[in-house]
Structure 1
Amino acid sequence: MKYISFVLLIIICSVCCTAQQTNTFRKQYDAFKQEKYSEYDGFRRKANNEYVEFMRKAWVWYQANPSFLMPLHPDPPLPVPLSPDLSEVKDIPKKLLPYEMVIVTPSIIEQAEPIAPVKETLNIGEIFHFKAYGTEMKVRLSNKLRYNLRTTSENDVANQWMHLSNSDYNNLLYDCLALRSQYNLCDWAYLNVLEQLAEAFLGKQSSEVALLQAFLFNQSGYKVRLGRSKTNRLYVMVASQHQIYNMSYFNLKGDCFYPLNYKEDGLYIYDNAFPKEQQMSLIVGREQLFMDTEVESRTLCSKGEYRVQVTLSFNKNLIDFYNTYPQSSINNDGTTKWTFYANTPLSEIVRKKLYPVLRTAISGKSERDAANILINFVQTALIYGYDDEIWGGDRPFFADETLYYPYSDCEDRAILYSRLVRDLLHLETVLLYYPGHLAMAICFNEKVGGKSFLIQGKTYTYCEPTCTGYAPIGWCPKDLETIPPKVVLLND
């Protein structure tokens, strides 16, 4: 009995010592974390103090540059290719076709981050609810923090920026960054969510809104400038890694800054850099997780031997977001614009209805037969329409939009088909740009024959998603066989 008591005493002492050690370690860690956050806060405060002092100096007048024009002044769209007689395309002879150049999609750059981690104030604080793209969102933001600018002079704007940078707004910035992560927001979506938040809190189209949006985007790590019109209205100006079409811009020290909601002939601009600022990207890259608001479903049915029928639902909030998305390009090369659309995934609401049906249709098939079933779906289930007649100009679609809207053209179908092939067959694809036409090609693992290209040591088989009827993979319209296209590589 004495032995057992002795052992228990040792165990109890050990547990107490362990608990004390754990408690000591926790206190040390908490102290270390507090010290680090104090350093971060000090770094942010110092950066904002210096930024504000430059802001008080006279802003410089700049004339805006006219908007970038689409570098591809589109040749008239080619007529929809006539589908071939199937008896003539049972065995398409293999033939290598020429191409002009290969355009590589650049790697995705990580989203911007604040210059230092934002310290969250532990007390919950007042919750402010707002809607962005039909989605209920919330941040910690007290009604007491509403403000009015006395004027939009340099000093008054600087004073308010200084006020925004104090700890009262830390939770707001912390929550905005959390929203970006929670909803998978790309930079363009995040910028617009901040605007909708600011408008809900301060009223629409005001200088106060512009200042709050600029502050939050800037403190999130993005390259932002402020401009003031001759009528004393503030404008947010954002720098982009990619050229944005149909938006005026200001060239400031070699960077293009795009003013939002701009209707002026020039601006007085505060052009000073904030530490570690980063240009925003127009790459979407992943599904934006806006709340599902389903619209009337649409039934699509392909024709012929490979008949497939599916009824799809769509997220109207996501469609509305895509409708605000600006056309852009990389290095002002218009052939790169399609990568933004083609490298964006289909939404889950569409995938969960469409993909089981297509997987069933291609189950047990060879790569060639499966690709033909998918291309027949794109060729015969969709109705062709010219952008000029429907939209008044060129309007590329994300894959969701091609399935949602009643009409689509060659670029939309090539983008959709490349998405289906990558997702369902796990094969590499490229887009092929011809004057007035967009097609695509697939790198098969098996030999399939037909018209093809040798690109970077791999064979890609021509595919024509736009046709008056069914045309199998490997078939190429005769008038395109001698025209070398530009090849646009896509992400897997």
Structure 2
Amino acid sequence: MLIKSFVKVDHIRRTSALFSYQVFSALCLYLISGLDCARADSEYETWKQQQSQEFSVFQTEHDRAFLNYLEKQWEEFQVFTGNVRDVVPKIKTPPVVRNDQATTQTAYGKQVNPSKSLVTRTYNTVNEGVGFFGHATSPMTFPVNYQEFIDLSTVNSQRLRKVWEQLSKIDHKSLISLIQQQIKQLELGDWGSVQLIKYQLKQQPFSESQRQAYTWFLLNRLGYDIRAGYTEQEVVLLMPTEQEVFGKDFTVIEGKNFYFDREPLRSTISTYDSTSTPDQQPFNFSLTNIMKSSPQVTELSIEYAQKPKSLRLILIFDAGLSSFLASYPQIDLHWYFETEPQFPTSDSLITQLRPIVANMPDRDAINVLLHLTQNMFDYKTDQDQFGEEKYLLMDESLYYGINDCEDRSIFLAWIFRKLLNVETIALDYPGHVALAVRTKVQPGDDSIHYQGNKYVVADPTYINADLGTAMPKFKHLEPKVIPVTY
């Protein structure tokens, strides 16, 4: 009995000791685990703080000052309707020279009575091109995706401020470098830079307001003085420019016109009157740099049934450039008489037209090119065709096949200068534009004096009118002269 009792007691003691050891071990593990968790929490908070500090490195002193400014400096500004360069309406239908008014000296030495020529245009796509107005471009990765981006389903000043705060804390250097690289490769001007960023953002599922806000930030980072404005429904971009822009709504901030990238939905818009950094520049919308020639090429066949010999032209033009120019801001007319067509349009026109006028006397050659331009396009005013004033460069006239007096003058002036090397000026009448060339004046010619020389009128909108024949409506008016400097 004593032995059994001893064994039982010993078993109880060993069991108790084992339990105590297990409890002690568990307690130790719990305490160690708790210390590890506390250490992990502390390390996580430290990491978060480091990340926040790293993000803040990308946020400049100017960003922080700008954020403070955006906290309370938004104001309402009035929206003004875009200015019109020429308020006088254009002719609805171009006049045609009647048989009893004049005869036409043809390139072939015979005189024929003028009648409206039959012109047939046939378009054939040579290369459709891809991507950005015919140019293939590498896609861009945006550091903030559409899911992380500030919600702009309703727009107000605080949300736009949060957009700047969010984006300025994140490294955008690689993206800015890629944008600059593509701008250089495509030879884009300032308007092209705006469109490139918008195009790349459209490849991602951002909302329209998010795209506008991101464009605002990125263009600021590129050094442009661009402002964001808003109504409750939309974000609008405001751009100061080196040139006066026609036909675009604008507001006035500190005496400068800021043009909207789109027509605002209200008569007032909320924005601010300071730049994000002191060295930002206005936009340059001159036509010096537009866009590199695109692979998006179209062939235009023209059958010109002019007696005594029909002409057939096969012209190649840049359809990608024409599509790009559809949204280009309209600037003063003189810029269009300085802007030459690019390859392949320029080469195509010279190659096709040079054999037609080779070895002709100047007056004959001028008349052939004048009559061709009068008849190869259909006529519509800009208001009827586009709903607004819009000047067309040469590629655009070929692209649409429809134009008005300014566009025909732009088209023919370059041909006169490059093909015939004849001095040319543009005549800017109220509601009309024509040309005049420095050549020998014949009796009865309509002409004007400019800088000590006589220039003979050549009107590409007066159908079948010869050199020296001004449109009767403008015959006795004094035009403003625009030098042609191709």
Q: What is the TM-score normalised by the length of structure 1?
A: 0.70
Q: Judging changes above 3 Å, is the alpha-carbon distance between structure 1 residues 289 and 50 closer, same or farther for their aligned structure 2 residues? A: same
Structure 1 position 182 matched with structure 2 position 185: yes
The separation in 2 between residues aligned to 1:325 and 1:89, in whole angstroms, is 38
- Residue type at the aligned position of 1:137: T
The answer for the alignment partner of 2:278 in structure 1 is 275
User: Does structure 1 conserve the Cα–Cα contact (< 8 Å) formed by 2:201 and 2:211?
Assistant: yes
The separation in 2 between residues aligned to 1:348 and 1:371, in whole angstroms, is 24
Q: Which runs of 5+ in 1 are unaligned?
A: 1-41, 91-129, 329-336
The answer for the alignment partner of 2:469 in structure 1 is 475
1:158 to partner: Cα distance: 3.9
1:191 to 188, 194, 207: 194
The answer for the alignment partner of 2:322 in structure 1 is 319
The separation in 2 between residues aligned to 1:150 and 1:382, in whole angstroms, is 49
The answer for the alignment partner of 1:486 in structure 2 is 480
Count of aligned residue pairs for this structure pair = 399
The separation in 2 between residues aligned to 1:404 and 1:375, in whole angstroms, is 20
The answer for the alignment partner of 1:65 in structure 2 is 80
The separation in 1 between residues aligned to 2:259 and 2:213, in whole angstroms, is 15
The answer for the alignment partner of 2:114 in structure 1 is none
Once the two structures are superposed, the pairs formed by residues 358-369 of structure 1 within 5 Å of their partners are 358-369=353-364
- Residue type at the aligned position of 1:225: R
1:131 to partner: Cα distance: 3.5
The separation in 2 between residues aligned to 1:253 and 1:364, in whole angstroms, is 59
The separation in 2 between residues aligned to 1:359 and 1:88, in whole angstroms, is 19
Once the two structures are superposed, the pairs formed by residues 320-399 of structure 1 within 5 Å of their partners are 320-328=323-331, 337-392=332-387, 394-399=389-394
The answer for the alignment partner of 2:48 in structure 1 is none
1:85 to 99, 102, 108: 102
1:252 to partner: Cα distance: 0.8
Q: Judging changes above 3 Å, is the alpha-carbon distance between structure 1 residues 359 and 302 closer, same or farther for their aligned structure 2 residues? A: farther
Corresponding residue SS for 1:313: strand
Q: Which runs of 5+ in 2 are unaligned?
A: 1-56, 108-129
Q: Judging changes above 3 Å, is the alpha-carbon distance between structure 1 residues 290 and 219 closer, same or farther for their aligned structure 2 residues? A: farther
Q: Judging changes above 3 Å, is the alpha-carbon distance between structure 1 residues 77 and 136 closer, same or farther for their aligned structure 2 residues? A: same
- Residue type at the aligned position of 2:463: T
- Spell out, residue by residue over 1:311-340, the C-alpha distance to the aligned partner (whole angstroms, 9 max, x if none): 223333222222222434xxxxxxxx3334
- Spell out, residue by residue over 1:103-151, the C-alpha distance to the aligned partner (whole angstroms, 9 max, x if none): xxxxxxxxxxxxxxxxxxxxxxxxxxx9433432126535665541156
- Residue type at the aligned position of 1:357: Q
Structure 1 position 218 matched with structure 2 position 220: yes
Corresponding residue SS for 1:188: helix
1:438 to partner: Cα distance: 1.6
The answer for the alignment partner of 2:296 in structure 1 is 293
Once the two structures are superposed, the pairs formed by residues 93-108 of structure 1 within 5 Å of their partners are none
Q: Which moved more, 1:480-489 or 1:389-398?
A: 389-398
User: Identity of counterpart residues, as a percentage?
Assistant: 22
The answer for the alignment partner of 1:421 in structure 2 is 416
The answer for the alignment partner of 1:430 in structure 2 is 425
Once the two structures are superposed, the pairs formed by residues 247-266 of structure 1 within 5 Å of their partners are 247-261=248-262, 262-266=264-268
Structure 1 position 240 matched with structure 2 position 247: no
- Spell out, residue by residue over 1:66-104, the C-alpha distance to the aligned partner (whole angstroms, 9 max, x if none): 3334542325457424165237999xxxxxxxxxxxxxx
Once the two structures are superposed, the pairs formed by residues 99-248 of structure 1 within 5 Å of their partners are 131-138=131-138, 141-142=141-142, 147-150=148-151, 154=157, 157-165=160-168, 168-206=171-209, 208-231=210-233, 233-248=234-249
User: Does structure 2 conserve the Cα–Cα contact (< 8 Å) formed by 1:89 and 1:475?
Assistant: no
The separation in 2 between residues aligned to 1:79 and 1:362, in whole angstroms, is 26
Once the two structures are superposed, the pairs formed by residues 395-406 of structure 1 within 5 Å of their partners are 395-406=390-401
The separation in 2 between residues aligned to 1:395 and 1:300, in whole angstroms, is 27
- Spell out, residue by residue over 1:345-399, the C-alpha distance to the aligned partner (whole angstroms, 9 max, x if none): 2242322322101122233344444333322321233344455554456543222
Q: What is the TM-score normalised by the length of structure 2?
A: 0.71
Corresponding residue SS for 2:297: coil
The answer for the alignment partner of 1:459 in structure 2 is 454
User: Does structure 2 conserve the Cα–Cα contact (< 8 Å) formed by 1:306 and 1:373?
Assistant: no
The answer for the alignment partner of 1:10 in structure 2 is none
1:440 to partner: Cα distance: 0.7
